[in-house]
Amino acid sequence: MNKQTKIEAKPIEKTNDENKNSGCISLGESSLNGFHEGAGNFKDKYDELTQNLPKEAFHSKEEVEVPPYYPINETSKDLWARYYDLVSVFDQKVGDVVKNLEEDGLMDNTIIFVFSDHGFGMPRYKRWLNETGLKVPLVIHIPEKYKDYFPIEQGSKTDELVSFVDYVPTVMNLAGLKPESTMQGRAFLGNNLSPQRKYIHGKKQQLF
């Protein structure tokens, strides 16, 4: 993989097939830009992250849609326009990784998970038990050769309940490894899947 995008790849473990290896890539703001906290609330970080964003990828604060539970004012409009701009930055970074995979001839052998870790760093989002704080985006790219690992048609949506504790068992299952019985999560891709869960539990500790 070329060095245009700053990423780290670490092998998980060799599968039973001697000709295959499994690997995992972590991609996000902290690994790409040295920031962990979201830049939507920090103008200096926002300016740094968006400095190479094409003009047409920015969002006008006059056209942005502010959620109905926030006041419709200049502060809210600025904040949400910056938020969508940062989504465009992330989109751009994911595109860089996809381009690298294509150039290295690895795209047809790579399953890609794209997701956020929580809601926006604002009230009713991060650290809140509203749906806006618990429900996060998850997009999975599965090459044609692995389409049987995914229970629904490519390009479609599913209402299956997936939790963060499911990622490790899922990757292990895809790599031909048996998830440990002590793991809380369940594999949602691959062979020999357990029944889908009916509930996901959320918990919030008191914040001071």
Segments making up each domain of the chain, as ranges: 21-158
More confident residue, 207 or 72: 72
Contact 119, 80 (CB under 8 A): no
* Average pLDDT, integer, range 49-56: 90
pLDDT in tens, 63-97: 999 999 899 999 999 999 998 998 899 888 889 88
Contact 187, 169 (CB under 8 A): yes
Structure confidence at residue 74 (pLDDT): 93
Q: Kindly tell me if the per-residue pLDDT of 7 is higher than 80.
A: no
More confident residue, 30 or 144: 144
- Residues 117, 122, 127, 133: is their CA dihedral positive or negative? negative
In the chain, what percentage of residues exceed pLDDT 70? 80
**The model's pTM:** 0.76
Number of H helices, E strands in the chain: 5, 4
pLDDT in tens, 12-32: 333 344 444 445 555 455 445
